[in-house]
Structure 1
């Protein structure tokens, strides 16, 4: 196969994302048992954390208790870790149902000793 043809067949960025099973980061918000829940889905790094940061910042300013439903977070790095710590400093903040990769990141950095981590959204919201 000529090199030009091989390059032409290489998946584009959007195709690579689909092939690798990654998805876009999304944020959904709702009230649950008197707490404001911010539900995050997808990968969170420096390039995707801004919408979640905006949602958590607004929630911390407007609601007495904020819960991050982290069950749908497929990837997290130091950008998300920093956001969680900043939100913890700004509000009564809980992290609910972190996926395994995030749970491991929190353990490795000892952030799990600082943050309030709960198994479910209901437990975090104290229903």
Structure 2
């Protein structure tokens, strides 16, 4: 099993201080990524909002890595994710392999990405945070 940071490190561009270096995008400006966390019925819930790609995934990656290491049940509420690329998908797979990760209410874009790649048959997907926390 490969830790997420080793698996995605070639895709994360860093400066001397190891902070991701954003690149200018041409076209639509992606919605800023944000991550919120809280405990619910014995599960640790990580809520993601916005656009997640190789330049913006770090806060979500850090939150999931810490959560999977400390909590037996981790729930990712992906209902607010407006864009996700292969870095996001890789992050889900790696965290699913290292712990109990459940994905809640993935947005249409995330659901389609998971269907196209077959990841929907690997991840535990639930309709609500309540459903995911109770399992």
Secondary structure at the counterpart of residue 58 of structure 1: helix
Unaligned runs of 5+ in 2: 1-24
Corresponding position of 2:67: 59
Aligned residues: 110
Q: Distance in 2 between matches of 1:29 and 1:118?
A: 18
Corresponding position of 2:128: 120
Structure-2-length-normalised TM-score: 0.78
CA shift for structure 1 position 23: 1.9
2:43 equivalent to 1:35: yes
2:84 equivalent to 1:71: no
CA shift for structure 1 position 121: 1.0
TM superposition outliers: structure 1 runs of 4+ over 3 Å: none
Q: Please say which structure displays the higher CA radius of gyration.
A: 1
Secondary structure at the counterpart of residue 68 of structure 2: helix
Q: Distance in 2 between matches of 1:88 and 1:69?
A: 14
Unaligned runs of 5+ in 1: 1-12
Structure-1-length-normalised TM-score: 0.82
Q: Distance in 2 between matches of 1:124 and 1:35?
A: 8
RMSD, aligned α-carbons: 1.6
Secondary structure at the counterpart of residue 31 of structure 2: coil
Q: Distance in 2 between matches of 1:47 and 1:121?
A: 27
CA shift for structure 1 position 126: 1.4
Select 1:108's aligned residue among 104, 113, 116: 116
